[in-house]
Structure 1
């Protein structure tokens, strides 16, 4: 009977062992969670950049297919953009900083700029830079060809 008691006593964990495991787990969580939230927020930058590039490419395609100019208007202060005058207004996340480089004559007020796509495939050209923390990405629109390209970590 004594032998059974010794075996059953060796199968459990002591309170000290459980506390040590909890302390190690808590320490690891404190190190991992802040970095995880930063990487999740940073993953949004490429997604938003790609989304803008898709919209700009759509604008070029619409101009060619419909044989009429199509405008892309970006409001940096409001963090919103619109493709064409009748389209829905889209908003960008608040934690991404925006700058737009375009021709002076294409400025539509403070913090607003436009890129026009023409039926021959050309455009007025421009550059949109998106920043989140120390990361940045750029969407370039070539004025001659209307080609849209994305540059990472510029």
Structure 2
């Protein structure tokens, strides 16, 4: 038979002058460090969701982004279109000059202002974005007196002239063809400077 130890036994005394009290039981409570939530509290917080202020802040931020994005996208698209037009125009002019030198005969690059196109015989037609204004100062074609062209010769020289591309916002790119060397010279002007 097993006898209980004196430490595990609780003594009860009955006396008229001493009130009876329940026995004291030690309970262990887990204590967490400051800043670290218990897993139960974290689950409770996740179950609650977001506060109204957090939702309003998120919706306001999304509205601001959606309001600013189209304007920024439009400016970026216009700038990229302008750069592409300048690059395509430059490339067409350089290809015409190289073709004249390689083939040993003059090559004409026709500028169709109304269609916003650059054409060289035997080459792909270069189209310029319809929002970009195209101005040209050059010579007329020998085969078609109404067609403005830039003419490049086998020795690398050209008839000279200039081409100006202008965006709706007023940004300009002047491309000048040196008549003696056929080299291209660039001058960029913003709407503010007007140069």
TM-score (norm 1): 0.83
Q: Structure 2: any 5+ residue segments left out of the alignment?
A: 1-37, 190-194
SS in 1 for 2:175: strand
Q: Which residue among 128, 147, 150 is the counterpart of 2:183?
A: 147
Q: Which residue among 149, 152, 175 is the counterpart of 1:117?
A: 152
TM-score (norm 2): 0.67
Query: Contact conserved, 1:137 with 1:150, CA < 8 A, in 2?
Result: yes
In the TM superposition, what are the counterparts of 1:31-42 in structure 2 within 5 Å? 31-42=68-79
Q: Distance in 2 between matches of 1:8 and 1:96?
A: 59
Higher relative contact order (CA 8 A, sep 6+): 1
Q: Deviations over 1:34-90 (max 9, x none)?
A: 122212211211221121111111111111111100000001111111013x43433
Q: Which residue among 31, 45, 49 is the counterpart of 1:10?
A: 45
| RMSD, matched Cα | 2.2
Aligned residue pairs, count:
148
TM-fit CA distance, 1:131: 1.0
Cα distance change, pair 87–28 in 1 and its aligned pair in 2 (3 A) = closer
Q: Structure 1: any 5+ residue segments left out of the alignment?
A: none
Q: Deviations over 1:113-135 (max 9, x none)?
A: 10100111111011110011221
Give the aligned partner of residue 120 of structure 2: 83
Of 31-40 and 141-150, deviating more is 31-40
Query: Contact conserved, 1:108 with 1:114, CA < 8 A, in 2?
Result: no
Q: Which has the larger radius of gyration?
A: 2
Specify which structure has the higher proportion of strand: 1
Q: Distance in 2 between matches of 1:18 and 1:44?
A: 39
Cα distance change, pair 108–13 in 1 and its aligned pair in 2 (3 A) = farther
Q: Which runs of 4+ in 1 moved over 6 A?
A: none
